[in-house]
């Protein structure tokens, strides 16, 4: 079985469209949260992702934009975008967001978990090997997919050594993939990167493909119509920074 893994789409319809057009063949889609927030197409993006599969984990922006939590923990720009999203979301989509389950969700037997932040705390940012150590030691599952940081890559351990996983690409232009073989004795925390607001210096939409027969994860990047996504953000009256950062991948 091959699972397409999406995270942090953040209401970016252009990025999601490019990902779905270029995605390799897959049987299921696993979504790691933050479907909305920041971008200008929340209703269109929800319409699209609801049709893609059943596996969803909620993100902090999904909670905030549906009114499940307040905006106290958000910076002023994120807060403005969340308020705007609350205003434009249809009642049906707001309700759908409210009912996305909290992670971990186990979509594929005893081997795999999907979370938004960390296995132990849905809002925690796993940025370093130090952050990864405890959740990966405590994890019930060997292969764990997470999002939230918008940084493609992750962490692995064989019980003794710890590794940082970072895909290597040749350019910043076309579509590219970087394949990671999963070792039988390895425990993994893997971030597919952000579809709609990458922050690893690469503006291209990020996603991953997990193959449980070949035991591989392919990290993928694909260019998208970033100017269109930016225009929508500016036309909506959302903060300029949310448009400009897309081209920088920051």
Judged by the rule CB under 5 A, the positions of this chain that interact with Zn ion are 8, 34
CB of 48 to Zn ion, least distance (A): 17
| Beta carbon nearer to Zn ion, 12 or 141 | 12
CB of 49 to Zn ion, least distance (A): 14
Select the residue whose beta carbon is closest to Zn ion and give its number: 34
| Beta carbon nearer to Zn ion, 2 or 48 | 48
Gap between the Cα atoms of 3 and 29, Å rounded: 5
Asked whether 81 and 37 are in contact (CB, 8 A), the reply is yes
CB of 59 to Zn ion, least distance (A): 6
Gap between the Cα atoms of 126 and 133, Å rounded: 10
| Beta carbon nearer to Zn ion, 135 or 198 | 198
| Beta carbon nearer to Zn ion, 81 or 182 | 81
How big is the CA angle at 96 (ends 87 and 106), to the nearest 5 degrees?
135
Which pair of structure tokens corresponds to residue 207?
A: 């996603």
| Beta carbon nearer to Zn ion, 14 or 34 | 34
Which are the contacts of 46, defined by CB distance < 8 A and separation ≥ 6? Answer: 35, 36, 89, 93, 96, 97
Whose CA is closest to 188, among 213, 210, 205? 210
Helix and strand totals (H; E) in the chain: 8, 11
Gap between the Cα atoms of 12 and 201, Å rounded: 17
CB of 150 to Zn ion, least distance (A): 6
CB of 196 to Zn ion, least distance (A): 9
CB of 216 to Zn ion, least distance (A): 25
Task: At 65, give phi and psi (nearest 5°).
Answer: -75, -20
Task: At 171, give phi and psi (nearest 5°).
Answer: -150, -175
Gap between the Cα atoms of 94 and 86, Å rounded: 8
| Beta carbon nearer to Zn ion, 182 or 205 | 205
């Amino acid at each position: 079985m091959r699972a397409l893994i999406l995270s942090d789409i953040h209401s970016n319809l252009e990025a999601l469209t490019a990902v779905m057009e270029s995605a390799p063949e897959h049987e299921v889609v696993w979504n790691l949260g933050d479907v909305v927030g920041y971008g200008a197409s929340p209703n269109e993006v929800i319409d699209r992702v609801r049709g893609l599969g059943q596996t969803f984990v909620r993100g902090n922006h999904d909670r905030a934009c549906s009114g499940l939590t307040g905006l106290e923990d958000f910076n002023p720009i994120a807060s403005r975008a969340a308020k705007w999203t609350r205003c434009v979301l249809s009642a049906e989509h707001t309700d759908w967001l409210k009912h996305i389950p909290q992670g971990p969700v186990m979509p594929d037997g005893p081997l795999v978990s999907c979370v938004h932040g960390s296995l132990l705390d849905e809002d925690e940012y796993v940025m370093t090997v130090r952050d990864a150590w405890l959740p990966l030691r405590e994890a019930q599952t060997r292969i764990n997919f997470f999002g939230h940081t918008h940084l493609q890559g992750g962490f692995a351990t064989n019980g003794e050594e710890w590794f940082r996983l970072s895909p290597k690409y040749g350019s910043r232009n076309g579509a590219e993939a970087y394949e990671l073989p999963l070792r039988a004795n390895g425990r993994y925390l893997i971030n597919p990167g952000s579809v709609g607001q990458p922050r690893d210096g690469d503006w291209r939409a990020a996603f991953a493909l997990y193959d449980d027969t070949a035991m591989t994860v392919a990290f993928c990047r694909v260019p998208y119509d970033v100017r269109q996504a930016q225009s929508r953000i500016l036309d909506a009256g959302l903060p300029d920074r949310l448009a400009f950062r897309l081209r920088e991948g920051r």
